[in-house]
């Protein structure tokens, strides 16, 4: 687990392409943002923060908005199965 200040190591931090992560999720924008995420040293921490914080907007940790929504739906479904 990285320290809470993992943001300082973010590949997107200060990048000229930082706007891509919150731009309209066109195929081109998504592909380029995910390419940056996949080379990022803090990808897991970033994804964890977005998932646990239920951050709906933008690309975080190599996950699109649709990816996170699918994970949350799966978690809800699994929780319902254990009741």
Instruction: Give me the residues that bind ligand SF4 (CB under 6 A), please.
Output: 10-12, 21, 36-37, 40, 42-43, 46, 59-62
How far apart are alpha carbons 32 and 75 in whole angstroms?
28
- Is 12 annotated as contributing to ligand binding? yes
How far apart are alpha carbons 79 and 83 in whole angstroms?
7
8 A C-beta contact, residue 49 and residue 60:
yes
How far apart are alpha carbons 39 and 37 in whole angstroms?
5
Give the residue with the Cβ less far from ligand SF4, 12 or 30.
Answer: 12
Sign of the four-CA dihedral 4, 5, 10, 13: positive
Give the residue with the Cβ less far from ligand SF4, 61 or 68.
Answer: 61
In the complex, least distance from residue 17 CB atom to ligand SF4, rounded to whole angstroms: 10
Give the residue with the Cβ less far from ligand SF4, 30 or 60.
Answer: 60
In the complex, least distance from residue 69 CB atom to ligand SF4, rounded to whole angstroms: 17
């Amino acid at each position: 687990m990285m320290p809470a200040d993992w943001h300082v190591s973010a590949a997107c931090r200060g990048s000229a392409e930082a706007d891509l992560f919150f731009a309209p999720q066109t195929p081109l924008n998504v592909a380029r943002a995910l390419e940056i995420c996949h080379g990022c040293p803090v990808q897991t921490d970033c994804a964890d923060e977005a998932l646990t914080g239920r951050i709906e907007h933008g690309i975080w940790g190599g996950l699109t908005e649709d990816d996170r929504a699918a994970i949350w739906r799966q978690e809800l479904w699994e929780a319902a199965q254990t009741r």
